Structure 1
Amino acid sequence: MQADIMVIGAGSVGLAAGYQLARRGARVVLLDEGAPPHALGSHHGSTRLVRYAYGEGARYVPLLLRARRLWQELEAESGESLLLPCGVLNLGRADSLFIHQVAASAREYGLALEQLEGDAIGRRWPAWHLPEGQGGAFEPEAGVLYCERALLAYRRLAERAGARLLEHSAVRALSMDSAGGVTASTAQGEVRAGKALICAGQHSARLLAGLGLSLPLTRVRKTFAWYRADEASMGPGRFPGFSADVAQGIYYGFPTLDGAGFKLGRHDGGQLLAPGEPLAPFGTLAEDREELDSFVHRYLPQVGDFIEGKACHYIRTPDEDFILDRHPEHEQVFFASACSGHGFKFASVLGELFAHWMLDGEPGFELAPFRLARFG
């Protein structure tokens, strides 16, 4: 099979890029190990938080602001409701680097942000029981993004624009062909293209190693769960999404949505996995449940019984910043990897960024903080 561009990994970035490339007239083939959206990568679990005053650093904010516009455009074009601006509360002590960077990025870009002390948080959202010294910063324009719904919209629009998706087509190896293009070997045969975008999650490091690049990535098993909670007190408009930097770790959560319950996960911690190692289901380890239950009992005692839990994985870099780059020797090969557990909200803009870069020669954003060369 021949294409102008192959996209390896039809997850969040892959489907967004496939759509942007196809709508501009490129012949696009997307290859994926499953039938996206699925639970093999990092895009399942129904919802993600969307934050703009960014505790991970102000360098992300220009990407986030463009991403917001693109999610809104995807809503309009697909007819799907994808964004819920219920607000996000960032919790932490005054000396928290995360909270400091939230405030700094809001000042730099003029974003709405309200600083609150712990007692004020408890009065405004009575479900919270915070210790002395704990405060927060509430971002009213932030909220929730329906991730699987968004990927279905991208898939439908990409295929409508002419992109071809090859399901259950894991790429075994990549090679540069004599004509200067890229060849992907799969169980279904070979795919050749003039250019390739690799955004294949846990498989990206292996594929790029075959082209002489070493990516410093680790794979980490993570868990999240839902608990019973009354929508009258913890539904949208009554309880915001949150990111909490507390003594026990870094947690995130969502209001009760669509009758599914209160969703909670832990961002740090987790168990190291080898690429390809099976993902042990939720409950395999005692800590799967214990670390989430302890947060609920300490900070949100009104939350009810456990409903269900799920496991996922993060692909992390040492500094937890993204890698967005192109191969220094094979300039036909581009790669987006290791979004380190905070990447889904950027999928819309990263898809557009790589489409611009591959078709126009420029990404349109300053990518120096995200280049592979920063690791030496």
Structure 2
Amino acid sequence: MEFDAIIIGGGSMGMAAAYHLTKRRKRVAVIDAFDPPHSEGSHHGETRLIRHAYGEGGNYVPLALRAQTLWLELEQAAGRKLFYQTGVLNIGTESSSFLHNVIESAETHQLPHERLTASDINSRWGGFQLPDSLMGCFEPNSGVLLSEEIIRAYRELAVVQGAHLMTNTRVKQMVDQEGAIHIIAGDKKFTAKQLIVTAGKGTNAVLSLLGTSLPLQPVRKTFSWFNAAEAVYGPDAFPAWSFENGESTYYGFPSIAQAGLKIGRHDRGVAVSAEDKLASFGDYPEDVQEVTQFVDRHMSEKLVHKDGKICTYTNTPDGDFVIDRLPGHPSVIVACGFSGHGFKFSSVVGEILSELVTEGQSSLDISHFSLDRFQVIFS
């Protein structure tokens, strides 16, 4: 079977790329080791934040704004709700570099934002009880994405547009030869002009078939839900938020569809290998202890832990993404290392990947995500 592009990894980036490529009338195959959406990657757990003013660096802002436009377009195409405009409250100390970057990027790009004291925050959103040492920057146009529903929407639309989808299928062999990629997956052979690898923590397992590996570190992460009063913590009453005080970094969501207040710790985590079976939620005492201590300290209501899940970050050494062609393999494009803050960009990353396939370059500046900054290992 011959295609214009084969995508290995049908999670957030891969399924978005399939949607954009089939929309451009390209013949596309998507191969995934599981059946997306699934719980083996980084897109499950119902929700993800989208922030526009960006604490990780101003170079992300144009991508975030384009991503937001594409999310709203996807809602229209899918005919169902995928985004809640709850606003996002970024919380930190006055000296926080993260919060400084948020405010600077908001001012540079003229994004709506509001600086708030701890007292302002506690008054406006009664669910918080922040100490005076903290402050915030509120972005009213940001909010919450329904991550698993988004994967379903991209999958359904891509298939309707002609994508060939192979689930629960592992790639066994790849050969880059004479301007084409030859793949054996399951018991079938495929050929494509270009290959996109968006395999998350499995990226190096895929690239090893081409004798290559990248400096990626999978990390076991957890997130939790707490029983919460909807009148205080529902999406009409409480914002999505991020928190960084120099010692720890957390993020959280209002109670979407009465699921409960969702909270996770962004920093730390347990380094694992891509092949490891992850320890179940609760196997480490800190899985529950850390978020419970955070809630007791910073939320005004007495909240009871309800449920928790595990997921994986795939981190690069500098925390920035990889979106580039693989050295020595000009027909292979790699998008990986989204380091726990990538989902919000998956709509625009999918568009970028489709442009790299069809136009040879991106309409947005992705030089910051080049592989030139790392050592690529060839075996």
* TM-score with structure 2 setting the length: 0.96
The one-letter code sitting in structure 2 at the alignment partner of 1:105 is: S
Equivalent residue for 2:14?
14
Equivalent residue for 1:73?
73
Equivalent residue for 1:148?
148
1:285-344 CA-partner distances (Å, limit 9, x unpaired): 111111111101111140421111000010000111000000232211101001000001
CA distance in 1, matches of 2:307, 2:187: 37
CA distance in 2, matches of 1:151, 1:158: 10
Equivalent residue for 1:295?
294
Deviation for aligned residue 1:346: 0.5
CA distance in 1, matches of 2:129, 2:18: 45
CA distance in 2, matches of 1:170, 1:42: 18
**1:92 is the counterpart of 2:95:** no
Q: How does 1:112-127 map to 2 (within 5 A)?
A: 112-127=112-127
Q: For the Cα contact (< 8 Å) 1:253–1:263, is it kept in 2?
A: yes
Q: For the Cα contact (< 8 Å) 2:143–2:239, is it kept in 1?
A: yes
SS in 2 for 1:331: strand
Deviation for aligned residue 1:171: 1.6
SS in 1 for 2:330: coil
Deviation for aligned residue 1:268: 0.5
Q: How does 1:105-184 map to 2 (within 5 A)?
A: 105-177=105-177, 179-184=178-183
SS in 1 for 2:203: helix
1:135-191 CA-partner distances (Å, limit 9, x unpaired): 1101111110011111111001000000011011122342213x3211223233322
CA distance in 1, matches of 2:278, 2:335: 22
SS in 1 for 2:257: coil
Name the CA shift for 1:98/1:349 in 2 (closer, same or farther; >3 Å): same
CA distance in 2, matches of 1:113, 1:212: 47
Equivalent residue for 2:317?
318
**1:271 is the counterpart of 2:270:** yes
CA distance in 1, matches of 2:333, 2:77: 27
The answer for unaligned runs of 5 or more in structure 1 is none
Equivalent residue for 1:220?
219
CA distance in 2, matches of 1:299, 1:371: 39
Runs of 4+ that moved beyond 3 A: none
Q: For the Cα contact (< 8 Å) 1:169–1:188, is it kept in 2?
A: no
Equivalent residue for 1:304?
303
Larger mean CA deviation between 8-17 and 231-240 belongs to 231-240
Equivalent residue for 2:250?
251
Q: For the Cα contact (< 8 Å) 2:242–2:249, is it kept in 1?
A: yes
The one-letter code sitting in structure 1 at the alignment partner of 2:164 is: R
Q: For the Cα contact (< 8 Å) 1:57–1:105, is it kept in 2?
A: yes
CA distance in 1, matches of 2:14, 2:302: 37
CA distance in 2, matches of 1:285, 1:96: 29
Larger mean CA deviation between 295-304 and 30-39 belongs to 295-304
Larger mean CA deviation between 123-132 and 30-39 belongs to 123-132
Larger mean CA deviation between 252-261 and 186-195 belongs to 186-195
Deviation for aligned residue 1:210: 3.6
* TM-score with structure 1 setting the length: 0.97
Q: Give aligned pairs, total.
A: 375
SS in 1 for 2:136: strand
Deviation for aligned residue 1:248: 4.9
Equivalent residue for 1:195?
194
Deviation for aligned residue 1:247: 5.5
Equivalent residue for 1:262?
261
CA distance in 1, matches of 2:272, 2:21: 33
Q: For the Cα contact (< 8 Å) 2:217–2:271, is it kept in 1?
A: yes
Q: For the Cα contact (< 8 Å) 2:201–2:312, is it kept in 1?
A: no
SS in 1 for 2:45: coil
SS in 2 for 1:307: strand
1:96-141 CA-partner distances (Å, limit 9, x unpaired): 1100000111011110110011111111112211123111101111
Equivalent residue for 1:240?
239
CA distance in 2, matches of 1:234, 1:126: 9
CA distance in 2, matches of 1:247, 1:126: 24
1:223-270 CA-partner distances (Å, limit 9, x unpaired): 001001111011113110000013651000001111111000000010
1:198-240 CA-partner distances (Å, limit 9, x unpaired): 0001111232244343311100000001001111011113110
Equivalent residue for 1:352?
351
Q: For the Cα contact (< 8 Å) 2:96–2:246, is it kept in 1?
A: no
Larger mean CA deviation between 33-42 and 238-247 belongs to 238-247
SS in 1 for 2:212: coil
The one-letter code sitting in structure 2 at the alignment partner of 1:318 is: P
The answer for unaligned runs of 5 or more in structure 2 is none
**1:101 is the counterpart of 2:101:** yes
Q: For the Cα contact (< 8 Å) 1:227–1:303, is it kept in 2?
A: no
Q: For the Cα contact (< 8 Å) 1:357–1:364, is it kept in 2?
A: no
> Percent of pairs identical after alignment?
43
